[in-house]
Amino acid sequence: MSWFESLSELLDNSSIPWKTIVVAFSIGQFAFENYLTYRQYKVLSKKELPPVLVNEIDKETFEKSEEYSKAKAKFSIVSDILGLVEKLAIIKYDVFPRLWHMGNKLATILPYKYRVVSTVAQSLWFLLVLSNISTITGLPLAYYQHFILEEKFGFNKLTIKLWIMDMIKGIVLGTAIGGPILYAFLKIFEKFETNFIWYVCLFLLIVQILAMTLIPVYIMPLFNTFTPLEDGKLKESIENLAKSVGFPLDKIFVIDGSKRSSHSNAYFTGLPFTSKRIVLFDTLVDNNSVEEITAVLAHEIGHWQKNHILNMLFYSQIHTLAIFSLFTSVYRNLSFYNAFGFFIADTQMDINVHTPTKVFIDSFPIIIGFMFFNDLLTPLECGMQFMMSLISRLHEYQADAYAKALGYTQHLCRALIELQIKNLSTMNVDTLYSSYHYSHPTLAERLTALGYVSEKKKE
């Protein structure tokens, strides 16, 4: 007997207070993350810039940045409180069994010959109900974030019509694409009851690769317009850079990001061993010089040169393997499912007979188990977030160093400073907060690592 099987037998115990454990971990995560936010909020009260930024950021911009960061911190706390209350209500009032019933009722709308009553099909109906209710309950916060918070600081460019259209497109695409993916995911558990781990990991890797390949080409154009970069100095500069370092550049596009936000960005798409597309936000093209944009792309090419995409795929697979290996200990645990209102029906029982807070089904509802299992992993996931943030920041330093080696130090630093100003990014950051939340080093850390010396200091 493997240690997973032994652990599974040990945990299949009706005396284990699964609900209490999930509630405790959820509250613990809330407390920890908001403690970090509190630390960050205190740092935002500092009246002085980091030394390396003293000659680069004017007082008005600094104060507005701090105000924006405080507003986002307050919004984060309120959002977390509402999220915690929602989660606790779902657990206390057995909301998931109720939504399962609702999904079953929706399924009966179909003509009888098209009805499918398997646990996998019922899981998909449940997720359809849950996702749409989540979208509706999330509308007030989403509206506030875009049309009040972002609007106040001049970033929001969305109209109500565009916001609604984005939502509708997201729901349709989520159902059309996410449905088959979830179906295949759940069928793996049904087909390979005892040795699903490697199949799940392989399936999710394929999904990741397809997403990286297809989303930029076929999905994102449904939301934004991608226009080929016009001939000129910028295009020539980018092509010369790509040619000089052997970057397999295919096309360069400008995306109309300004129709939703005035924030700036740039990225490239494509698998590690295929040609790449470079995408520039129109806000970046409009507000930065040719040299600065080229320097930003030198940084992005540094990620390709250092195989950072492959690295993150590897770490992601290790993470996935660890999660599903641990999931084997509870995925067929009767006491675990029973605690949340899901019961495996006796062969003599009509599985369509339910109570409002109890569901009787003929096999384990894996999707329910996995959702609550994620809450049990909260301590592990918090630790993983520290690790993944650390790895991501190391990658950013390496990409910066690559751009520096190509001779773009000064232009990259100027571009980073301009982006910091345009995006009103946080100037002062608590170390523990950034270690957990930030995938990029702070501007001050990056400038220091690049050895940046202000032109004003030279004078």
Which residues are tagged catalytic? 300, 400
- The arrangement of strands across the sheet holding 226-228 comes to 226-228, 249-255, 276-281, 266-269
Asked whether the beta carbons of 96 and 341 are under 8 A apart, the reply is: yes
440 annotated as belonging to a binding site for a ligand: no
101 annotated as belonging to a binding site for a ligand: no
Residues 270, 242: Cα–Cα separation, whole Å: 15
Give the torsion through C-alpha atoms of 164, 167, 171, 173, to 10 deg: 110
For residue 154 the two structure tokens come to 């001049």
For residue 101 the two structure tokens come to 């019933």
Q: What is the residue-wise DSSP string for 83-148?
A: HHHHHHHHHHTTHHHHHHHHHHHHHTTS-GGG---SHHHHHHHHHHHHHHHHHHHTHHHHHHIIII
For residue 118 the two structure tokens come to 């398997």
Long-range pairs for 1-5: beta carbons < 8 A, 24 or more residues apart: 4/325, 4/328, 4/329
Kindly report the length of the chain. Answer: 459
Dihedral class, residue 28 (left if φ above 0, else alpha if ψ from -120 to 50, else beta): alpha
Instruction: Give the angle subtended at the CA of 39 by the CAs of 35 and 41, to the nearest 5°.
Output: 110
303 annotated as belonging to a binding site for a ligand: yes
Residue 388 CB contacts under 8 Å (≥ 6 apart), including other chains? 315, 319, 439
**Hey, which bits of 141-275 come out as E strands?**
226-228, 249-255, 266-269
Q: Which residues are annotated as a binding site for Zn(2+)?
A: 299, 303, 396
Q: Which residues are annotated as a binding site?
A: 299, 303, 396
